[in-house]
Amino acid sequence: MTTVPRQGVLPLGVPPRQLPPVRQARRAPPHAGRTAAPARARPARILCLDIETTPDAELVPQDWPKERFLKPAWHSVSAISFAEARIEAGNDGSEHYVIECCRSGGQPGWSEERLLRGFWEMFSEGDFRLVSWNGRAFDMPVLILRAFLYGIPASAYFLRGDRWAGYTRRYAPEYHSDLAELLSSYGSATRMGLDEMARAMGLPGKGEEHGSMVEALAAAGEIERIRSYCETDVLNTVSLFFRWAHMSGASTAADHDASMASLVDYLTRERDARPHLGSFLDRWAASRRPVPMMLKGAGGRPTRKVDDVRGGGTEEPS
């Protein structure tokens, strides 16, 4: 009787097949103009972004249901807003963040192509950790696919990082912290909306405006109003990120409060020239939620007063 050898085991008397030597994988030549960050390097800056869009009438099928959300490539970008912050790392690796700006890209009269080109040029020149709310599912796919339609390169998004971490890796928050995913355990729990989560913490949320209004605002030529609304979404998102950084162990309580203080100082400086930033700060300071802003007051207790954030007021315990 002939015995069939087990899989992977040679029968006695059969010499093993001579295999060719293993070839070393060749490194791909560097991409022209590529400015890849060193492998596993921690990005040095935060780029918290949000976009507003309107339907691209030439692409949306006529029979597409009005109530059904559009596919990413069918969104025309009306505004790209972002906050930039410097990442300051302590000796123990903890982080706090210094807000440098919150603004919208380009000018109100810019075409979509010019907005996209400006954004991707800025992105390629920076060393950013992206922060977003649902940005992996919406904002970044829209920015990528609309750039694709115009032939605008976005190579930094695809080439930076390594095989384990990078912008295209879902579980790499050091490159892209999508708070909608992080705060729902990557979809294991029911996802909260940005307005819902912001209001739960004590942030102003979206106020009286909503993304569903953008198409009508754009048709009326109110681009500045769209940009201001988009910047407000960015402020909600970056504040939630500061709290997430503390909760996840990236920031100490002192780091968290320093990051919040940096944001408050920025809003205070800008409020006269940009009233929507002052309005955001005032509504935030008026919150009655347990800990909407700082974790510790002058006496080590949670506080909500803006003066306490800046070190100039009396303590108001929760």
> So what's the pLDDT on residue 18?
47
Q: What is the pLDDT of residues 248-296, one digit of tens each?
A: 999 999 999 999 999 999 999 999 999 999 999 999 999 999 999 999 8
Q: What are phi and psi of 237, to 5 degrees?
A: -65, -45
Q: Quick one: pLDDT band at residue 301, thresholds 50, 70, 90?
A: low
Q: What is the DSSP string of 20-84?
A: PPPPPPPPPPPPTT--PPPTTPPPSEEEEEEEEEEE-TTTS-TTS-TTSPPPGGGEEEEEEEEEE
Q: Which CATH architecture has domain 45-58+69-246?
A: 2-Layer Sandwich (3.30)
* 281 CB neighbour count, 10 Å cutoff: 21
> In 3-state terms, what secondary structure has residue 276?
helix
- Own/partner pairs for 126-129, CB < 8 Å, 24+ apart? 126/45, 126/47, 127/37, 127/43, 127/44, 127/45, 128/43, 128/45, 128/46, 128/47, 129/42, 129/43, 129/45, 129/46, 129/47, 129/87, 129/174, 129/175, 129/176, 129/177
Answer yes or no: is pLDDT of 137 > 70. yes
91 to each of 86, 88, 95, 149, 198, how far by Cα in Å? 16, 10, 10, 45, 31
Query: Average pLDDT, stretch 182-196?
Result: 96
Element (H, E) at 216: helix 214-219
CA atoms within 13 A on the CB side of 238: 37
CB-based contact 78:239 (threshold 8 Å):
no
Dist. CA 187–CA 181, nearest whole Å: 6
Give me 97's structure tokens.
């963040």
CB-based contact 154:147 (threshold 8 Å):
yes
Cross-strand pairs, 45 = 86, 128
Answer yes or no: is pLDDT of 30 > 60. no
> In 3-state terms, what secondary structure has residue 115?
helix
Answer yes or no: is pLDDT of 11 > 60. no
Longest Cα separation, the chain: 94
Exposure class string for 121-135: b at 16+ Cβ within 10 A, else e: eebbeeebbbbbbbb
Answer yes or no: is pLDDT of 64 > 90. yes
Q: Quick one: pLDDT band at residue 213, thresholds 50, 70, 90?
A: confident
In this prediction, what percent of the chain has a pLDDT beyond 70? 79
Element (H, E) at 128: strand 128-132
> In 3-state terms, what secondary structure has residue 306?
helix
Q: Give the residue extent of every domain in the chain.
A: 45-58+69-246
Give me 172's structure tokens.
């790499």
Dist. CA 50–CA 135, nearest whole Å: 8
Give me 303's structure tokens.
């506080």
Q: Quick one: pLDDT band at residue 108, thresholds 50, 70, 90?
A: very high
Q: Quick one: pLDDT band at residue 31, thresholds 50, 70, 90?
A: very low
CB-based contact 95:241 (threshold 8 Å):
no
Q: Quick one: pLDDT band at residue 305, thresholds 50, 70, 90?
A: low
> So what's the pLDDT on residue 110?
96
Dist. CA 101–CA 75, nearest whole Å: 26
> In 3-state terms, what secondary structure has residue 264?
helix
Dist. CA 293–CA 40, nearest whole Å: 32
